[in-house]
Amino acid sequence: MKKILYILIVVVFASCSKGYNEDYAVGKNDKENQEKEQQAKIDTSLMKVNEVMMQKEINRINAYMSRRGWKMQNYSGVFVQITKRGQGPMINDKNTVTIEYECGLLNGDNVYSSKDNGKKVFRVGGDTQVEKGLMIAMKLLNKSSQANIIIPSNLAYGMNGDGEKIPASNPIVYKVKVIEVK
């Protein structure tokens, strides 16, 4: 009789314990689902804000090009106007290039230049210290080419700026001349 009572008590406790764990698991899943839904709403809102900000930036870039009469092509998000064709093969990811440049903002401020900071020398496919947008534009040029380049902030210094002269979320304007390609 004691064995039966003992087995009955074990079964009752086991079934109670199992029910509690299932209830807990269901509650935990509900909480996880609510958190996922909240995160999805936040992500959607951030994407909408980002789209609006990007469109405003593109409008500023278009106005800048219009004021200067620049006819530029969009290459992977970078606006490029080749003002002088160069010679030789096109620059690729394996090349190291030397450029003379002026770098400024859409408001007309000149922030960096090769006259003040020296020529830029970098490997097109691998230098992480150079804006991604400049890397994209370089592949459209060859030795002795000259170009006007406008790089949107997401392909330049992004939401942080460069910490010195380029403010957060600002496109940058380059005037470049390719001096050497190796």
Give the pTM. Answer: 0.79
Terminal-to-terminal C-alpha distance of the chain: 94
Residues 96-152 have pLDDT tens digits of 999 999 999 999 999 999 999 999 999 998 878 899 999 999 999 999 999 999 999
Q: Does the pLDDT of residue 6 top 80, yes or no?
A: no
Q: Percent of the chain at pLDDT above 90?
A: 71
pLDDT at 106: 97
Phi, psi of 73 (to 5 degrees): -105, 145
Report the DSSP pairing between strands 172-181 and 120-123: unpaired
Say which CATH architecture domain 71-181 belongs to.
Roll (3.10)
Which residues are CB-contacts of 146 (< 8 A; sequence separation ≥ 6)? 82, 83, 84, 86, 175, 176, 177, 178
Q: Does the pLDDT of residue 16 top 70, yes or no?
A: no
Q: Identify which has the larger pLDDT, 137 or 35.
A: 137
Distances (CA, A) of 89 to 129, 142, 179: 24, 6, 14
Mean per-residue pLDDT, 39-63: 92
Return the structure tokens found at 144: 């002795």
Q: Does the pLDDT of residue 2 top 60, yes or no?
A: no
Phi, psi of 125 (to 5 degrees): -90, 5
pLDDT at 26: 58
Distances (CA, A) of 156 to 37, 58, 151: 33, 14, 6
The residue length of the chain stands at: 182
Mean per-residue pLDDT, 20-27: 55
Which residues are CB-contacts of 56 (< 8 A; sequence separation ≥ 6)? none
Q: Does the pLDDT of residue 15 top 70, yes or no?
A: no
